[in-house]
Amino acid sequence: MSVSSELRDDGTRVVTMDYPPVNALPVQGWYDIATALDDAGRDPRTHVVVLRAEGRGFNAGVDIKEMQASEGFDALIGANRGCFAAFKAVYDCAVPVIAAVHGFCLGGGVGLVGNADCVVASDDAYFGVPEVDRGALGAATHLARLVPPHLMRGLYFTGRTITATELLGHGSVLEVVARERLDEAALAVAAEIASKDTRVIRMAKEALNGIDPVDVHRSYRFEQGFTMELNLAGVADEHRDAFAGTTKAGRR
C-alpha cells in the first residue's frame, strides 16, 4: 500500500495511489498524498502533476474499518485532518493537477478530483458522495465544483452517483476515453501543459485560484464541523458500524 511519485522526462510528475482492494485510504495515506503534491509543487522540475490510481477504482474515500477499529476519536480526527491536507495540497499545488479517474470515485475521491485543475476519465468512471449514508458530511464543497447547485443537492441528499460521460456534458470533465487509454490520454494533456513555460503556468495557477468565487478550504472545514457534531451525538458511529459490520469499542 503506497502513494508513489515519478517524474517523467517532460516535466510531468505522476502521483499514484495504490491501496488494495478499493483504494479506501487510511489516515496516513491522505497525509502521503498531501506530501507528494506539496513536494511536487516545490520541485522546479515539475511542470504538471497527474494524480492517478491502480486497482479497481480511483478512490473509495476513507478507510472506515480503520476508523472503527481504533479507540476514541484519534482516527476520526486523523481522517478529517488528513483529507483536509490532501484536498488542500491538490488545490494549492504550484502546478496544475490532472486527475485521471477510472472506476469509482467516491467520498474523499470527489474531494481530490473536485480540487484538481483538470479531469480526464475513463468511460467506466462514476462519482458520488455517500456521506449521508455513513452518518457524516463533507465533500459537498468539491462536488459543487463538478455539477450545478441543484444537481449537487440532489446527488448529495440521495447518495446517487453520476457518470463521467454525464460530467462531460456539464463541462467538469475534459475528456472521457476507453479504460485502456486513460493513462495515455491524461499524459497527453499533461504533456501539452508541460511543454509551456512553467514560469507562466505556475503564475496562471496562482491567479486562477485567486479568482475562485468560493474559498474551498474554509468551505470544507465548515462541513467538517457538522461531521464532528454527528460523531459526538453517536449518530455517525451507528452508520459506520452498520457499514463495517462491527461494534465500536468504547463509544457505547
φ, ψ of residue 146 in degrees (nearest 5): -105, -25
Contact 45, 11 (CB under 8 A): yes
Q: Quote the cell numbers at residue 227.
A: 461531521
pLDDT of the residue at 236: 77
Q: Is the pTM of this model over 0.85?
A: yes
pLDDT of the residue at 247: 56
> What distance lies between CA 170 and its chain's CA centroid?
19
Rounded Cα distance between 23 and 12, Å, is 23
pLDDT at 66 over 60: yes
- pLDDT tens-digit readout, 109-150: 999 999 999 999 999 999 999 989 888 888 999 999 999 999
Contact 187, 50 (CB under 8 A): yes
**Hey, what amino acid is at 59?**
N
Residue with cell 470527489: 110
Residue with cell 463538478: 146
pLDDT of the residue at 45: 98
Class of the 2-180+198-244 domain?
alpha beta
pLDDT of the residue at 37: 98
Q: Give the start-to-end residue ranges of the domains of the chain.
A: 2-180+198-244
- pLDDT tens-digit readout, 150-183: 999 999 999 999 999 999 999 999 999 999 999 9
Rounded Cα distance between 57 and 12, Å, is 22
Enclosing H/E stretch for 177? strand 175-177
Indicate the pLDDT class of residue 246, thresholds 50, 70 and 90: low
Contact 3, 39 (CB under 8 A): no
Give, in order, the Cα–Cα distances in Å from 182 to each of 135, 145, 202, 230.
33, 22, 25, 38
Local structure of 136: helix, strand or coil = coil
Give, in order, the Cα–Cα distances in Å from 221 to each of 62, 101, 226.
16, 25, 9
pLDDT of the residue at 237: 76
